[in-house]
Amino acid sequence: MKYPTASAVLQSLCDGPTGAPRRSYRLLLVAGLIACCLMTACNHYDFEYGVDFSALPNHGLYFAPYHENLYDFEDEQQSPITNQVSPIRTASSIDGIGMLRGLTEGLTSYQVRQVSGTYPSVSAWGDTIRLSGAVYYPAKGDIKGIVVSCHYTVCADYEVPSMSCFMDAWLATKGYAVVMPDYIGYGCTVDSVHPYMQADLNARNVIDMVLAVRPYFASKGLKIQTSDIYLMGYSQGAHTAMHVLRLLEDQTNYPEYADAAIRVRCCYVGGGPYYISEFYYRAVGNNYIGIPCSVPMLVLGMNCGRPEGSRFEPEYFFSQRLLANYKNWILSKRYTVDQLRTLIGTSSLDEILSPEASSFGYSETIRLYKELLNHDVPSDFIPKARLYVFHSRDDNVVPFYNAERLYEQLQGTNADVEFDFDHYGVHGMAFAKFLMKVYKKL
């Protein structure tokens, strides 16, 4: 069986309906994506477990694979699903991004290897911690370069890169290696709280994986044509990617990366909440949040690394219903973003937060706001690397003002930046357009 090309599929998604009514198009799209997910579920090679590589010296950083998979969807031989296949393949969420990810896994991963593994990094407390992530790379030939992809908000553990296949893997079909960390709180650290939107910590964890995969590629005898990296991220990933860029370019405040020789050739970001403090402030003011689980994740995430007595207590911030259920809903990592939307049952913040937390007339609410200011893109940050900023004016999750403010900050500076703002659809569908544009620019 011959499948349509990746670019043709994503381009059709980006173009949308040409003559059919939009509602009919959406129904056909959903039906088609579900069919593709089911079709591709029958085309997986079994994971190879127990891959044993010796530790590779690189200032204590190394990537230790624990399973490996080869995708080859031009091979007509069918491989049945086995019990070893990751749960994402039989229990993926039926949201737009999840279905697109399944579609990509089936249609675009021709001769691409996926390796999931672990690497050492730093915890919220400053201790050494072992984190997990995934690496995708072409099965044949040299590697053009490394694309570091920071993933968007996920809530279920089985959705993270080391456990599933993201649309970003498509970039490996163009000859690049794609490096995707899970972040703290997922994968091998699933029992920990995810430090949601903690700028420096998440950026450090991403950079450490970049350092760790270098000796891994060397051990495989894989030649990388350039030492420069391409950095990208969408939604939460855009926030993280911007701070990765900031840390790598600020050798005065982050001297630990001065000798790492990681130069960012270009940073691609889309749909990002770059100013998380304003995002929170406006959400409270508008009494609306696009992803209901994001606010409790933000409160819990900001507690990571904080000593007892200075934490943002759920008893103060959460409504009674959320307070009674957040450990099961949020901390269990069992539910997807869409499933949590159903469980929480509202997008009104005054039903998610307590009356006090829904008002800036209280000192504790202001204290959280001031903490969030520390995780914004700094107002004086001017990137040295090329920057591509994408945002849909129709975004229903991360409002467009985030991109407008970044535009105002960088306009008139010496930054080499391209802004791409247009009516690209809602948050999830705009991601497909963003990925298509990054693919063409690489």
Structural domain tally of the chain?
2
Rounded Cα–Cα distance for residues 147 and 45 (Å) = 24
Do residues 353 and 429 both lie within one domain? no
Q: Which of 329, 347, 373 is the last residue of a domain?
A: 373
Identify the residue with better confidence: 204 or 87: 204
pLDDT at 408 > cutoff 70 = yes
Rounded Cα–Cα distance for residues 353 and 314 (Å) = 9
Q: Please, what's the b/e burial string for 152-188 (b: 16 or more CB within 10 A of its CB; e: otherwise)?
A: bbbbbbbbbbbbbbbbbbbbbbebbbbbbbbbbbbbb
Do residues 175 and 266 both lie within one domain? yes
Rounded Cα–Cα distance for residues 54 and 382 (Å) = 41
pLDDT at 195 > cutoff 70 = yes
Please report whether residue 399 resides in a domain. Answer: yes
Do residues 426 and 381 both lie within one domain? yes
Please report whether residue 157 resides in a domain. Answer: yes
For residues 27-54, average pLDDT: 35
Reported as a single tens digit per residue, the pLDDT across 111-136 is 788 889 999 999 999 999 999 999 99
CB of 435 within 8 A of CB of 103?
A: no
For residues 221-245, average pLDDT: 95
What pLDDT score was predicted for residue 70?
Answer: 61
Least Cα distance to 371 among 292, 324, 316, 304 occurs for 304
Please report whether residue 1 resides in a domain. Answer: no
Question: What average pLDDT does the chain have?
Answer: 81
Please report whether residue 216 resides in a domain. Answer: yes
Please report whether residue 86 resides in a domain. Answer: yes
Do residues 327 and 405 both lie within one domain? no
Do residues 141 and 254 both lie within one domain? yes
Please report whether residue 62 resides in a domain. Answer: yes
Do residues 435 and 291 both lie within one domain? no
Do residues 173 and 247 both lie within one domain? yes
pLDDT at 82 > cutoff 80 = no
Do residues 136 and 212 both lie within one domain? yes
Do residues 208 and 298 both lie within one domain? no
Whole domain around residue 426: which residue ranges?
A: 6-274+376-441
Rounded Cα–Cα distance for residues 72 and 50 (Å) = 21
Do residues 260 and 280 both lie within one domain? no
Reported as a single tens digit per residue, the pLDDT across 282-335 is 999 999 999 999 999 999 999 999 999 999 999 999 999 999 999 999 999 999
Rounded Cα–Cα distance for residues 65 and 328 (Å) = 30
Look at the pTM and tell me if it is higher than 0.85. no
Do residues 398 and 416 both lie within one domain? yes
Q: Considering only 51-65, 85-99, 173-187, which range has the smallest mean pLDDT?
A: 85-99
Do residues 227 and 363 both lie within one domain? no
| R_g (Cα) of the chain, nearest Å | 21
Please report whether residue 280 resides in a domain. Answer: yes
Q: Considering only 74-83, 175-184, 242-251, 296-305, which range has the smallest mean pLDDT?
A: 74-83
Reported as a single tens digit per residue, the pLDDT across 199-224 is 999 999 999 999 999 888 988 888 89
What pLDDT score was predicted for residue 90?
Answer: 28
Reported as a single tens digit per residue, the pLDDT across 136-188 is 998 888 899 999 999 999 999 999 999 887 888 888 888 999 999 999 999 99
Least Cα distance to 253 among 303, 175, 317, 199 occurs for 199
Diameter over CA atoms, the chain: 64
Q: Which of 327, 345, 373 is the last residue of a domain?
A: 373
Please report whether residue 68 resides in a domain. Answer: yes
Identify the CATH number of the domain in which residue 33 sits: 3.40.50.1820
What pLDDT score was predicted for residue 163?
Answer: 87
Q: Which of 341, 373, 405 is the last residue of a domain?
A: 373
